[in-house]
Chains A and B, each alone.
Chain A
């Protein structure tokens, strides 16, 4: 409806293969970025940034990570929580060893540890498929969580068994720890997420992305056109885990401020998986939409009863949330297996052909 594509024709492959070939989309993207970078920090209060915005970004990044693995490469994983943990702990260790180095560097570096571990646990994926692979990733999840609890070295042997985020500054501006303002933490998170998302989208639009999808759609045929299955799958595991690892580090350093092992439990893996399912398998956009729904919805729901002047025990609300999320998942699988992203796509298509239905 807002689309006026007439007269938009491509005169080069470069333009034709652009990730946002339609002018209106590019404009929309710019608007969104502007709002995210400038708008929200201005209008959104610290509560909003801390409780809604920043966590949303972090979850979205993790969801992108898992989506690369599950949505693009078709490998089911419940190890996400564990991989995120690796990132967090790695970052923690690194920053304790080299306090001087800018924390953002370590957040990004933490991902590499996760990538390594991810690739390791990805090794079986060559021989194991579907549910069987799921078990392999569960092994990773439980083993890692166990490791987080039982290896004191990971949390610098402090009695609480948790990692306490120290204050770290970037150019004199504290971006982690107690003194860091919500806005700075949000902006840092935003920058990281935007950049990594951009890289991820480049990846899925190129050779590597295609070989992932090829493996997903029909691994036999993929092998037949010369795609080596193991390296492809391992790369997918590694990159997926990298993003999850970074997300994990951000989770602790830019959001929680401190974390005990239970943070990275199987529940986290589930949460991320649901974000991917509801958001839409095989869509980066979906990761964001899924994260928004799963993370923001409960917050909204929590807000509803007070708003209506009803007072229910917060625990009750949590339980309701749980059920609602569950129902949502089932509804989505029934109504739109491809998730919010597909809904978005259809909606967009409708706008493009408006007033026609198709």
Chain B
């Protein structure tokens, strides 16, 4: 996998959400939230249940359209994203409760992730020879690298519907990686995993970030994990941003502690 070419240099802001407010009917999911994601960093979004974390990701890749606020990506201002555009401009995403193509094998799921990169038209597809097959093979190579990277050789041909949850999450990450994204959004990548699986997942996330230079924004419940992984942390509570700093600072932040205790109590 080659590094996704981005016209934003490392360290500079890759994506920023500005004063986002999102309402469903009467309910306010996000209230005037702003933060930025810098190129090459691992950005964590945390907060108690119902804090609006997932809604935030949905806004970023255009599932939800905020009533107010804007998204700045690659420096250009967008009143609203839409999923297709997000995908094409290099944003990949995994879901809290896996959103794989259950009827398809691991291999096909990952190959599907290459959809954007495959160009051969109907004619060649019909023949499935010459250029079409060459293209297919070229992308198969990339996908195999990902399979090797995620150590899922053994389940290549298994329909993902039959896989245990932990592996499904891994495959979903694989599908996202197959898009060679510039920005990778991970929605609770470690829920429902045992310790070992969590460690693997952490390793993968770090390697993705370090090897492919992929910028990562992740939601996670497990505070420990977040603190180890992320370079900066945004904390949401009831749709508001209550903190935004490096892990250690956030840990000390009274507002954050309050919010979490509030949940606990």
Contact = CB atoms under 8 A, between A and B. Distances in A.
Contacts of A98: none
Interface string A276-316: 00000010000000000000000000000000000000000
Given A210-B115, A217-B101, A217-B102, A17 B137 contact: yes
Could you tell me the dominant secondary structure of chain B's interface residues?
A: helix
Given A14-B137, A17-B137, A213 B104 contact: yes
Interface stretch (B14-22, B105-113, B215-223): B105-113
Contacts, number: 100
A226 B179 contact: yes
B126 interface: yes
Contacts of B175: 225
Contact of B103 (A205, A206, A217, A222): A217
Contacts of B61: 224
B133 A14 contact: yes
A202 B140 CA distance: 16
Contact of A227 (B63, B100, B115, B122): B115
A225 B114 CA distance: 8
Contacts of B102: 217-218
Size class of the B contact interface (CB-based, 8 Å): 35 or more
Contacts of A218: 99-102
Size class of the A contact interface (CB-based, 8 Å): 20 to 34
A271 interface: no
Interface in A213-259: 213-214, 216-218, 220-228, 235
B51 to A, nearest CB: 22
A227 B136 CA distance: 17
Contacts of B132: 206-207
B84 A210 contact: no
Interface in B115-163: 115-116, 118, 120, 122, 125-128, 132-133, 135-137, 140-141
A225 B84 CA distance: 7
Interface in A72-88: none
A211 B135 CA distance: 16
Given A220-B83, A226-B87, A213 B125 contact: no
Interface of A: 13-14, 17, 199, 202-203, 205-208, 210-211, 213-214, 216-218, 220-228, 235, 282
23 contacts: A13-B136, A13-B141, A17-B133, A199-B126, A202-B125, A206-B136, A207-B111, A210-B104, A210-B112, A213-B104, A213-B108, A213-B112, A214-B112, A217-B102, A217-B103, A218-B100, A218-B102, A222-B112, A225-B113, A225-B115, A225-B116, A225-B178, A225-B179
Interface of B: 61, 63, 83-84, 86-88, 92-93, 95, 99-104, 108, 111-116, 118, 120, 122, 125-128, 132-133, 135-137, 140-141, 175, 178-179
